[in-house]
Structure formats: C-alpha cells, structure tokens
Chains A and B, each alone.
Chain A
Amino acid sequence: MTTLENQMPDVVMTADHIRTKKLPVVADLAIAVVALIVAGAIVFGTGIGNWVLALVLGLVLYLVGLNIAAGRVEGRRAARNRMWRAAIYVACLLAVIPLASVAWTLISKGSSRLDGDFFNASMNNIGARDAGGGAYHAIIGTLEQVGIATVLAVPLGVLGAIYIVEYGRGKLTATIRFFVDVMTGVPSIVAGLFVLSFWVLIVSPWFNHGTPRFSGFAAALALTVLMLPTIVRSTEEMLRLVPGPLREGSYALGVPKWKTITRIVLPTALPGIVTGVMLAVARAAGETAPVLLVAGGADAINFNAFSGNQSSLALFVYQQAGSASKYAPDRAWTAALTLVAIVLILTIAAKLLARRNRLSR
C-alpha cells in the first residue's frame, strides 16, 4: 500500500485526477464576447462615452471575468497567471497603437510633397502664401553638420575608449567611465546652450569682428558633445569583446602596444565600432534643439558651415510646424518623412552590420 492510498483511499489515480483542469479556449472567447457586449450595453445605454470607453470597459470586464472563471476551474494561482499574461499582451497592443499611428501618419501625410521640387529648392523667397519651396538647404545643413560632428567625435570617442579599455587603470578610468555614462544623459538642449555660451557668444566674435555669429559649425560642435559619449560607450563594449589571446599573441611577437592596438585590436573590433558610430550619427541627425539654438536657421542655401546661418532637416520640420502658412504642414510632414527615412536607413544598416559582426555578444 502506498502512502497515497493509505492517506486518501477514495482518490483514484486516473488521468482526470492527475491533470489539472484547464479553462477551454471556447470559454475564454465566450467571456471576451460577453464582456464586450455588457460593456457596450452599459456605455451606450447610459450614454457616458463612445466606443473607446466601451472597448476599455470591455477589456476590464474581460480581465475580471477571466479571473473569476479561471479561478473556479483552474484554481487561484492559475487564474492569476492567466490574468497577468493577458495584461502583458494588452500592454503590447496598447503600445503598438500610437506607434502604428505615427508610422501611418508619416507615410500618408509625408508623401503629399514628395516631389522633385522639395529636394531641389530651398525656402528662399517663399512667402507665407506661396506653395512650393523645399528642404534642399536643410538637407545640406544636416549633412554638413552631422559630417563635421562625425569627423570630430569619432577620433575622440575611439581614442577615449582605447584609453579606458587598453590603458586605463584605477580611479581616473572609473571616473571617466562614470562621466561618459552621465554625459549620455545630458539633454540636447543643454548641449546647445553650452555651445551657444562657449562658441557663439565667446569664441565666434574673435573671427567675426566682434559680433557673435551663428553657424553650422557651432551646431556640429553641439552634435559632437551629444555623439561623443555614445561612441565611447559602443567602442568600449566592442574593444572589450576582442579576445585577449589576440593581444597576447601580438605582444609575444614583440609588437609594441600601440601597434597591437592599431593593427590588431581596432581592425578586429571595426565592424562593431562602425555600427556604434552609425547609431550615433542617426541620433545626431534627428536632433533639433541644439541646431535651433546655435545654427540660426536660414531659408537660403548655404554651403559654408563656418560662416552664416544654416538650417537642418529637423530644424526645418520644427520651423514649418510653427509657420502659419497653409502649405507649411505639408512641408513639415514631408521633411519629417525624409528625416525618418535617413535616420532609419542608417539605423537599419547599422543593425545589419552588427548582425554580421563576428564579435557579437
């Protein structure tokens, strides 16, 4: 006689007793339908809201009903498990709705001005009542500013990461690492204000007969401040992934450390570093606030980033969004679509590159 038979003689070991009971899918669906109908009846019967409220109320009723029904059939713990799973699925759906709406609006509204004129004309001499106009000057501005910022930030960032990983010991390195992380969180507008007070108001008068001057280069400086910590972080991560034996092999052959780093470590980590740089570039291209503060924003085409006001795509979107012209929203949305396209292409390319990276985590 086993203990079970001894203790509980009336329990028969059949499949029904061994398996836990499950709430059938049909019952699940039925609860959902009933909940929706009841919610609809309450909401439209009393007239306290529209279909959105009905949907929300239906959802709440469904969760409650599911909890009760599953609690009866499956037990309290299983019911709670069910409810949380449903809540997690709902959270996902809830997040997808606005994001899908953003994507749909971008495409539907943004395609209205997607013509040759938009990419070949500036806003020079385009008044409030004029249709047409384009973002050529803004695209040039974005490319130049982000280009200069990349040229400044990449060497600094990569060298900084090399110091942290290859040379750094002790407190100083820990401090640098900590502040790199902190710097990632510096708001873009603060970076803009920094360059405004440092470059535009203090340094640029030296080159411009004593009057402060906005320029695309100032915007590039602000973007550099924003890109630098991102590049240091991603490069640092990649350098740490380079296997130690590669370095040791090189040292064993008598290669000096700097040559080991430049010839062995950097090439090995290169795809990862490029990925990080591209992500940083994509983020910088979308920044509005610093450009707004220090580039001045111009309507005309200006190829010279070092002198005269410049615009950028993100700034163009913001300016057109604030404009009273009835043609402005179309321009704003098309520029936004262009901007998102540039940023997403960069991001996707970076992610695909990361996937081909042999050093991936």
Chain B
Amino acid sequence: MGDYPSRSTNATAGGSGMPGRHVRSAGNGVSPRSYEEPPLGGGGALPKKARFSMESGFRGLSLAAGLMVLVIIVAIAIFLISKAVPAINADKSNFLTTKDWFPNDASPHFGIAALAFGTVLTAVIALIVAVPIALGIALFLSHYAPKSLATPLGFVMDLLAAVPSVVFGLWGRDLFQNPVRDFSVWLNHYFHWIPLFGGDGPFGQSILLGSLVLAIMVLPIVTSLSREVFQQTPAMNEEAALALGATKWEMVRTAVLPYGKPGVIAAVMLGLGRALGETIALALTLGITFNVSFNLIQAGGNSIAANIANTFGEANDVGRGALIASGLVLFVITLVVNMTARAIIYRRREFRDSAA
C-alpha cells in the first residue's frame, strides 16, 4: 500500500501509507494527494493543485493586468459620460446640430457640429495629401531603394514618428505659415471660382495649413506600416510576376499592391485615427472659428481636440463638462475608426504582428 512515493513535507500528518485521510501540507503548491485507492501508474506522486499557490497567484495577477485594459476602456467611456451628461442637459440648444460654442455663458448654448466637421475635414484632407506620398516612400523603401539607402532612410522615418506633435505645431505656425499663405493667395487669385479656394482673406492660419501639418505628421506612421506590409509580400509572387516578363511597376501593381491592400487600408485607418485625435499641432495652426465651411484657405477652421486645448483654460464647470462631452464624441469617432482598422487587420492573420 505505502510503496508509492509521497512528497509530503509534513511527516506527522504523513501521506504515505495512510490512505483515506485528507491531508494538506503548508507547502506552496506541493501537497500530498491521498486517495482511497492508489491511482494507476503511481500518479500519487504528482502534487495536488492547491487552491492558493504562487502559480495561481501569478496567473491571477497577470489576468488582472490583462483585464485592466478592458477596465480602462470602459472607465474612459463611463467617466466621460458621467461628466458630459450634466453639461449636455444644461445646454440650451441642440448639442449635435449647434455650431456655436458658448458653454461658459449664464445660459450656455453650444454644439459639436462645427467642431466635428472641422475634425473630420482636416483629417481627411491630411490623408488625401499624405497617403499617396506615404505609399510612394513605402514602395521606395521596400522595392526601389538600394539596401544601403533603405535602411537608414527607414530609420529616419521611424525617428520622425517619435517627434512630438507640439514641435510640428510650432514649426507650422512659425515657419510653414508664410509659404502656405503665399500659396493660398495664389490659389485664391487664379482659382477663386472654385468654392474651396474662394473668399477674400485673410489667409494663413487656415484648414489648409492645419491639414498640411497634419499630413506631415501622419506621413511617418502610414509609411512605416505600409512598408512592413509591402516587405512581407512573398518573394515567390514577385519572382513569378518578373518571370512572366512584367516590368518592375507591373510586378508592384500585380503582386505587391494586391497583397498589401488590407494592410495599407489598415495603415490609412490608423493614420486617420491619429489625425482625428491630434491636438496641439492643430491648436497652434488653425485659426479658431466656429463655422461649417469647405473653404480651405481662408483663416479659420477648428477641431474638437484643438478646441479643448484652446478653451480649457477659461472654462467653468459647465464649460469643462461641455469640453468633456466633445471629447466623448471624439472618443467615439476614433474608436469606430480604430476598431474598423483592427478588424481589417485581424481578418488577414499575416499582418497581426506587424501593425504597431
């Protein structure tokens, strides 16, 4: 009976040779098993799974850390809503359709319309400018440049993604504004019959300036993500295209681009998410106005995030709530964009680990 080994550390309560008694030692996870009958194959040697051990403790700790992410996302939504609802209730006009922003008045009236419009407009224009250039650079780095050039250039691109947005904002306001103003004046002079470039000034701190700065900022992100996708194109596909007599561009068009399409779409969506949430660069470069207008070059434009940064300082209680409400709208917009992007990435398992 007692001829199978026991790992009991408690000699007096001893597991060996004493079947039928439940014993639990104080060891960490190594407690003797006792059975009415010894199990087959001497399995009694295996430690019983303790209820509390380092193993389960560590597992629980890591589970808690993992769940923390979900908790934070939910908490963001809950706390933003809890502060936004009182402010929206105090709003004397419709929050979704009003263009003005006077939350600090005695009878506060404010709405998200102009801000949401400006946010989406600047982000979309920025992407229209940035994406073709970013794809060009990505193709250059992955397929056209010699390796001795591609490696350092890719490194520089990664560095640029790390440059803080306030630096781009400062550059856009202090330096880039003058060329853009000249360009705006020129556009207005020759193309004022197009509504986008109409108006009669002043020019300068306009949606065009904000979008261009934004475009420069999302460029490195879109570039590095799509470059990684392009580099993952199976060499087999490329070689097959070349072997069939395709020129380099035809190879890129028939092998690289179709393969990378989902990844590129995801990269663009992620860039869009970044552009939508960009704060300081737009706060410094847009000429804060509250209207809905497609005019790109006249001074004006605003975005949710830029408005928060600009008016937070003088906001009272309702004003703060109103800003939080606008932040909630931004959160929902970016959440939708990001979840779409991620869903696209997840459909193609190959890209799972490439997107940062």
Contact = CB atoms under 8 A, between A and B. Distances in A.
Contacts of A80: 247, 249
B65 interface: yes
B280 A98 contact: no
A221 B76 CA distance: 13
B171 interface: yes
Given A163-B65, A194-B79, A185 B274 contact: yes
B80 A197 contact: yes
Contacts of A102: 163, 167-168, 171, 216
Nearest to B279: A289
Contacts of B76: 186, 190-191, 194, 225
B279 A188 contact: yes
Given A187-B276, A258-B59, A340-B163, A193 B308 contact: yes
Contacts of A87: 136
Interface in B157-202: 158-160, 162-171, 173-176, 186, 190
Interface stretch (A24-32, A57-65, A329-337): A329-337
A13 to B, nearest CB: 19
B312 interface: yes
A8 interface: no
B164 A343 contact: yes
A77 B250 contact: yes
Which has the most chain A C-beta neighbours within 10 Å: B79, B175, B330, B341? B79
Given A87-B136, A91-B140, A193-B327, A343 B163 contact: yes
Nearest to A293: B312
B180 to A, nearest CB: 11
Given A176-B70, A181-B342, A286-B164, A189 B308 contact: yes
A179 B190 contact: no
A188 B265 CA distance: 23
Contact of B308 (A85, A94, A293, A336): A293
Majority SS at the chain A contact face: helix
A194 B341 CA distance: 23
Contacts of A336: 164, 166-167, 170
A351 B136 contact: no
Interface residues of B, number: 93
A49 B159 contact: no
A155 B65 contact: yes
Given A102-B168, A175-B70, A92 B337 contact: no
A69 interface: no
A206 interface: no
A156 B67 CA distance: 10
Nearest to B186: A49
A233 B167 CA distance: 26
B133 A329 contact: no
A187 B275 CA distance: 9
A317 B166 contact: yes
B155 interface: yes
Nearest to B59: A167
Contacts of B96: none
Contact of A228 (B72, B171, B334, B346): B72
A333 B167 CA distance: 8
Interface string B135-170: 111011000100000000001001110111111111
Contact of A159 (B65, B158, B249, B278): B65
A190 B155 contact: no
A321 B172 CA distance: 12
B324 A196 contact: yes
A345 to B, nearest CB: 11
A189 B140 contact: no
Interface in A227-261: 228-230, 232-233, 237, 240, 256-259, 261
B270 interface: yes
B73 interface: yes
A105 interface: yes
Interface of A: 48-49, 53, 77-78, 80-81, 84-85, 87-92, 94-95, 98-99, 101-102, 105-106, 109, 155-160, 162-164, 166-168, 173, 175-176, 178-191, 193-194, 196-198, 201-202, 225, 228-230, 232-233, 237, 240, 256-259, 261-262, 279, 282-283, 285-289, 292-293, 314, 317-318, 321-322, 329, 332-333, 336, 339-340, 343-344, 347-348, 351
14 contacts: A92-B140, A98-B216, A102-B168, A105-B175, A176-B69, A178-B339, A185-B270, A185-B334, A186-B335, A187-B331, A193-B327, A198-B75, A258-B58, A286-B165
Question: Closest 10 interchain pairs by CB?
Answer: A187-B277, A91-B136, A286-B164, A159-B65, A185-B338, A163-B62, A258-B58, A163-B66, A81-B247, A193-B327
